Amino acid sequence: MQAPSSPTLFSQVQISLGERSYPILIGDSVLGEPSSYSDLPRAAQALIVTNTTVKPLYADALQSALRHHFRQIHVLTLPDGEAYKNWEQLNLIFDALLQNTSDRKTVLFALGGGVIGDMTGFAAACYMRGVPFVQVPTTLLAQVDSSVGGKTAINHPMGKNMIGAFYQPLRVVCDLATLKTLPGREMAAGLAEVIKYGPIYDMEFFDWIEAHVDALLEHDAAALAHAVQRSCQIKAEVVGQDERESGLRAILNFGHTFGHAIEAGLGYGQWLHGEAVGCGMVMAATLSQRLGLVDGAFVARLRQLLKRAGLPVVGPVLSQSDNAARYMELMRVDKKAEAGEIRFVVLQKPGKAVVQPAPDAMVAEVIDACCQP
Ligand code: NAD
Ligand code: GLY
């Protein structure tokens, strides 16, 4: 267990979605602070869903903070890893809720990274047709992206995040102190999603990340607070305009079409989600260049920043016989695809993304070019 330090709330970002609006609390040691949860609706029970890695680190602190609010607090510990983001584990959440005779006011708490957050959120969306839930993200990736905006899902062997629901949490509690225990590879994976916000939305933020990437990797508290806050603000602005991804929100999937193919093609968990997205962003930027939208200098700049963050920038070979065809096959099972036509998030210019199809031959060339060491 981590030594407690005095809780400090740095900032609060609001997600504005009418009656589904909620705050994102960003602070130090706020996870174990009762006031982080004091204005949640009253309920008899809470269920904390976590995993074998996060439970020994943070479940006690969360449980004691919630003791003031709930009569009964149960903890469900799932196995750790992307490979477990599936029906079987989802069912264990329903089993626990039923065994505990949880009612529809029961509040679920997702304590962990994006895998736990996505699965717990989906369970909350389904149990009794919807019970409240709170996101307590403990990875950088989850704090800057997955815990915010209400996308919940599990994987299917044929496609990433293909079974899920839009379902907003009651709040998000981002405790930056939890990042101190996060392995370096996971920090880098989270940085991929931070970097993403630059090319799609805010080049000033991209400049700032270039200047502060080393500080972020060294867990500099002020740099992390700014990165999480600005990422959440951008996500809030996008989700506030397009909650269910009928248009604008798709830009948040920059790099994800290629990235999801990498994850599914290699087998879930081989590459981390953020690693696949980082490499996917190089591919999507290269596609933007071939489409005549951005120049090679910007693609090189993005590649260089991802490398400095410790992320892979050369795509893995998914098939020895026809690598590009295998990528294309996997990318056709993408939520943005329409009538079998793959649609890509590309950069209209640095700082602005759009969604459009691209000729198969051009995409195949990009895959070939980006999978060469
Ligand atoms: P993850 O949940 O697998 O967590 C990464 C690893 O870090 C795990 O081993 C976890 O146990 C461990 N961990 C978590 N917190 C820790 C801590 N504080 N200290 C030490 N270890 C810790 O992966 P992730 O990168 O957080 O999330 C990736 C998932 O998020 C993917 O499934 C992806 O599809 C999903 N995602 C969803 C959205 C969305 O909008 N819903 C957006 C982006 C990604
Ligand atoms: N991570 C993409 C989204 O939330 O839309």
pLDDT tens for each residue of 129-188: 999 999 999 999 999 999 999 999 999 988 889 999 999 999 999 999 999 999 999 999
* Cα–Cα distances in angstroms (integers) from residue 33 to residues 2, 9, 72, 162, 232, in the given order: 14, 10, 18, 35, 21
The 8-class DSSP code of residue 341 comes to B
CA–centroid distance, residue 142 to ligand 1 (Å): 6
**Closest ligand relative to 121 C-alpha:** 1
Task: Convert the pLDDT of each residue in 94-135 to its tens digit.
Answer: 999 999 999 999 999 999 999 999 999 999 999 999 999 999
The 10 Å CB-count burial string (b at 16+, else e) for 132-162 is bbbbbbbbbbbbbbbbbbbbbbbbeeebbbb
Select which of 55, 85, 151, 343 is catalytic. 151
Tokens for 342, please give them. Answer: 């793959």
Task: Convert the pLDDT of each residue in 340-371 to its tens digit.
Answer: 889 999 999 999 999 999 999 999 999 999 99
**Adjacent-strand bridge partners of 152:** 165
| Beta carbons within 10 angstroms of residue 361's beta carbon | 9
| Residue 253 Cα: closest atom of ligand 2 | 2
Does residue 3 register a pLDDT over 50?
Answer: no
CA–centroid distance, residue 322 to ligand 2 (Å): 30
Q: Which residues line ligand 2 (CB under 6 A)?
A: 145, 149, 151, 249, 252-253
What stretches of the chain adopt beta strand conformation (E)? 8-15, 22-28, 45-51, 72-78, 107-112, 133-137, 151-156, 159-166, 171-175, 343-349, 352-357
Select which of 55, 171, 196, 235 is catalytic. 235
Measure the CA–CA gap between 247 and 277, rounded to whole angstroms.
20
CA–centroid distance, residue 245 to ligand 1 (Å): 22
Measure the CA–CA gap between 282 and 13, rounded to whole angstroms.
30
